[in-house]
Structure 1
Amino acid sequence: MKRQPLRLAILEATRILEHAGVASPRNDAELIAAHVLGVERGRLPLVPLVDPSVVDAIGQLVTQRAKRVPLQHLIGWAALGAIAVSVGPGVFVPRPETELLLEWGLALLKGREYPVVVDLCTGSGALALAVAHARPDAVVYAVDNDATALAWARHNADARAAEGDTPVRLYSGDVTDPTVFAELDGLVDLVLCNPPYVPEGTTVPPEVAEHDPHQAVFASEGGIDVIRHVVAMSARLLKPAGGVAIEHDDTHGAAVPALLRTRRVLTNVRDHSDLTGRPRFVTALRG
């Protein structure tokens, strides 16, 4: 059968995804094509012609994406920092905006040898594993209260360890429990957290509403219920000059920093915007 231009298949995929309301149709079309071909996205221009079976395979995944199945579920992974983690049904998909929180945390660790890092509400393990990859000398702990998420995190941790990264210490626990990681009180250099923070009742895209676990996305008290516990936990875990970074909803630009300022041991409270200029995460240091 006659080979077909890959460029035309990507253009058709982009058209379908745009019509379906997908936020980044060209990006998703190219990533689907790269996944089917088993090449990096940047190498797509080096593949001018493909077999009809490839076009069909791309079309099948595009049909699923047009139904608003998350791209990451279709290709099987999501990137954070310099690594990729496996994701799928039952676990929260890491978002690009969390990169900025990760960068802040890694900058704080510069010059510190053998830092102790804790990732709260770890989900897929992406933040913890990205830190362990960037800082092989770090001792990284991660915790989540959901068994399915922890199974994904364990799978990802085993995969990263097989690649030579320092193993991450995974635990089952709830950040609302004041005894979690009590043995680390006053010993931690960095606390990172991407908690559930979307206010209950908020309208979210189908990818989130129908595929991300509800308990990993939404929180009560206007979205700050879990964050309140994370702040308390951070205040007791951090050593002097240690730092905390917590992601939050774009409606929390005032409320969450105010929450951290109620803890007298936390100083230098600062809110940070994401790449679109929306309030996205708050940081503080242990005085």
Structure 2
Amino acid sequence: MEATRRLADAGVESPRVDAELLLGHVVGRSRAGLVTLDDVDDDAAARFGALVDQRADRVPLQHLTGRAAFRHLELSVGPGVFVPRPETELLVEWALERLAGLDGPIVVDLGSGSGAIALSIAHEHPGARVTAVERDPGAIEWTRHNALERVGKKDTPVGVVAGDMTDAALLGELDGRVEVVVSNPPYVPDGARVPREVADHDPPLALWGGPDGLDVVRGMLSVAARLLRPGGYLGIEHADQQGTALPALVRAHGAFTEVEDHVDLAGRPRFTTARRTEG
């Protein structure tokens, strides 16, 4: 397929998959459904070509289709919001294991973006009382949109709050009541090289975390410690190279125990977990 070659020449990591997903988007079929596609009319071919050109210019695939798959959900995404990654699904799985068997647990997702973490927890643990916090005015519109869309599909509602995860007064009404705090915070070190899809299209507030990438986390730990009940759980995603530094930061804070780091499916350090001390 010419589109596959075009994307490969542009340096796209998965050119054939992306070409097939774009064609499926244009003609309203799944990738599997393309097997029986006999012909593409001129209008569809023109729209497909335009999308391939944009993808070759490294516009994220999800921005072109308007959708991002995450666990059991499809979320709306586009300019102004961080595109959820498959690696983050493991953090959700960990959180759901902590919530198993609990009736109406309170969960807070700090820096929610598209709402992927918060909405997945609400979808897979019906009855959980989930609050999604987002600071970026552009991103929170996507959070709200996806939250409303999931309510339309009969999922448990998720509260969406405009706020800064480092704000000492954030969600004061939940102090000491939260079972799980989860976050995929900005953690890219300033000046780090990232793919064009990220550098040109993910919102800066979702990416950059200071010289070592951990400035936002430093401010967020006290908020998480305040929100969590004694024995409650904290889970934070991080960059590959922060698998030692972030656990050390959590231990040094003093309000957490059972600090542990976890790897993703590729064996790379991916997220740190801890429990709020009982004292």
Band the TM-score falls in, shorter-chain normalisation: over 0.9
Q: How does 1:160-199 map to 2 (within 5 A)?
A: 160-199=150-189
What SS does the aligned partner of 1:49 have?
Answer: coil
* 2:255 aligned partner: 265
1:216 correspondence with 2:195: no
Structure 1 unaligned regions, length at least 5: 1-10
Measure, in 2, the Cα distance between the counterparts of 1:281 and 1:255: 11
Measure, in 1, the Cα distance between the counterparts of 2:259 and 2:32: 40
1:22 correspondence with 2:4: no
TM-score under structure 2 length normalisation:
0.95
Deviations, residues 6-53 of structure 1 (Å, cap 9, x unaligned): xxxxx2221111110011112211211111121222322232433343
Measure, in 2, the Cα distance between the counterparts of 1:132 and 1:220: 31
Q: How does 1:244-259 map to 2 (within 5 A)?
A: 244-259=234-249
Measure, in 2, the Cα distance between the counterparts of 1:271 and 1:61: 39
- Which of 83, 89, 113 aligns to 2:79? It is 89
What SS does the aligned partner of 2:186 have?
Answer: coil
* 1:35 aligned partner: 25
Residue identity in the other structure for 2:237? E
- Which shifted more, 33-42 or 175-184? 33-42
- Which shifted more, 120-129 or 51-60? 51-60
Measure, in 2, the Cα distance between the counterparts of 1:118 and 1:155: 18
* 2:191 aligned partner: 201
Please say if residues 235 and 263 of structure 1, whose CA atoms lie closer than 8 Å, have aligned partners that are also in contact: no
Q: How does 1:58-97 map to 2 (within 5 A)?
A: 58-97=48-87
1:56 Cα deviation after fit:
2.7
Structure 2 unaligned regions, length at least 5: none
Residue identity in the other structure for 1:213? P
Please say if residues 231 and 259 of structure 1, whose CA atoms lie closer than 8 Å, have aligned partners that are also in contact: no
Q: How does 1:123-142 map to 2 (within 5 A)?
A: 123-142=113-132
What SS does the aligned partner of 1:97 have?
Answer: helix
Distance 1:67 1:251, change over 3 A: same
- Which shifted more, 241-250 or 111-120? 241-250
What SS does the aligned partner of 1:68 have?
Answer: coil
Please say if residues 78 and 85 of structure 1, whose CA atoms lie closer than 8 Å, have aligned partners that are also in contact: yes
- Which shifted more, 42-51 or 117-126? 42-51
What SS does the aligned partner of 2:260 have?
Answer: strand
- Which of 277, 280, 284 aligns to 2:270? It is 280
* 2:232 aligned partner: 242
RMSD: 1.4
1:286 Cα deviation after fit:
2.2
Measure, in 1, the Cα distance between the counterparts of 2:41 and 2:193: 41
Please say if residues 186 and 236 of structure 1, whose CA atoms lie closer than 8 Å, have aligned partners that are also in contact: yes
* 1:114 aligned partner: 104
Deviations, residues 65-86 of structure 1 (Å, cap 9, x unaligned): 0000111110001121211111
Please say if residues 247 and 281 of structure 1, whose CA atoms lie closer than 8 Å, have aligned partners that are also in contact: yes
What SS does the aligned partner of 1:54 have?
Answer: helix
- Which shifted more, 41-50 or 226-235? 41-50
- Identity level (%): 54
| Structure 1 consecutive aligned stretches of length 4 or more whose deviation exceeds 6 Å | none
- Which shifted more, 244-253 or 42-51? 42-51
Please say if residues 186 and 238 of structure 1, whose CA atoms lie closer than 8 Å, have aligned partners that are also in contact: yes
Residue identity in the other structure for 1:222? D
Deviations, residues 148-170 of structure 1 (Å, cap 9, x unaligned): 11111111111111111111111
Measure, in 2, the Cα distance between the counterparts of 1:45 and 1:103: 33
